[in-house]
Amino acid sequence: MKHIFIVNPKAGKVDHTDIVREHLQKYDGKLDYHIYYTKGPKDATNYVKECLKQTNDYLRFYACGGDGTLNEVVNGAVGFDNCEVACYAIGSGNDFAKALGNMDDYKDLDKIINASAREIDVMKYGGNYSLNICNFGLDAWAAFKMSKYKTWPLVSGKMAYNLGVIYSVLFKMKHCMKVEVDGEVLYDGNALLCSIANGICYGGGYYCAPKAKLDDGELDICLVKEVSIFTLARLIGLYKAGKHLDSPKFQKYIYYKKGKNITVSSNKPIMFCNDGEVQTVEKLELSVVKNALKFVII
């Protein structure tokens, strides 16, 4: 098996190009490996696809960066049988790694290299794939603003997302949407946000879908109805900690359901975010792809 380390030099606050290269030197002569440094958006996806098209050999790709880098590697790998994907969590957010177990394990390159892969699900929308969470409404706006704030000096990924949340709370509290799950209408009206989850958290540690599992063949849908700023201030701590599903305070505001096929639509463009990539849509169909990817789990 050949090990290919895809390093995003712009992930996180520190350039890890030298760190990864120096760490791997101890594997010289022991591990068949190659390091590739990404050059811009979508470069990782294109590189992974080209590697897999040109060989029948079995390849392991290491996404060395944050959730965005991992998303690009996954979008290149899905559909090929001769590969697996690993996550070296050195980005600013690394939310997907939190669904895998001990976060520190995915910052330990030796442990990752020596771990085995197993099959997990992915989420599909259009011709794209997501490992973690797709969201609509307030938190999508927060992700949009986060991408601006995280370029500020001394602002961490978590701090940038919190700043994005503050902006969204002040200016983006109401979003008209219709959500259908497996052909049935779950909600139709004004909502604060809606998250479609394969993983469990996003935004630097907001646990919107604490019951989600990576291999159950279903997606978790969490929708919060429109609320006032004052109500949100009372509830956001529960939502962030993943305690909203069991809290009596939250029950009249929340819809939570599992399903395989979800459609979100609106009578006007609504903000949508997938692993930090933000766009506006009027209708989007999402579905789970069972056992679509072999992923390294420590």
* pLDDT on residue 12: 58
Question: What proportion of the chain, given as a percentage, has pLDDT over 90?
Answer: 71
pLDDT band at 15 (very low <50, low <70, confident <90, very high): low
Q: How many CB atoms lie within 10 A of CB 66?
A: 26
What the block records as the tokens of 164 is 């994005």
pLDDT by residue (tens digit) across 232-272?
999 999 999 999 999 999 999 999 999 999 999 999 999 99
pLDDT exceeds 90 at position 291: yes
Let me know if 213 is exposed, middle or buried by CB neighbors in 10 A (0-12, 13-18, 19+).
Answer: middle
Closest alpha carbon to 193 in 225, 231, 227, 239: 225
pLDDT band at 93 (very low <50, low <70, confident <90, very high): confident
* pLDDT on residue 139: 85
Across 90-99, 146-155, 224-233, least confident range: 146-155
* pLDDT on residue 90: 86
pLDDT exceeds 90 at position 111: yes
Q: Is the pTM of this model over 0.85?
A: yes
* pLDDT on residue 44: 97
* DSSP single-letter state for residue 137: E
* pLDDT on residue 119: 97
* pLDDT on residue 147: 74
* pLDDT on residue 170: 84
Q: What number is the average pLDDT over the span 28-52?
A: 95
Sign of CA dihedral 61, 210, 213, 139: negative
For 151-165, give one letter per residue: b (16+ CB within 10 A) or e.
eeeebebbbbbbbbb
DSSP β-bridge partners for residue 34: 4
pLDDT by residue (tens digit) across 162-171?
787 888 888 8
pLDDT band at 8 (very low <50, low <70, confident <90, very high): confident
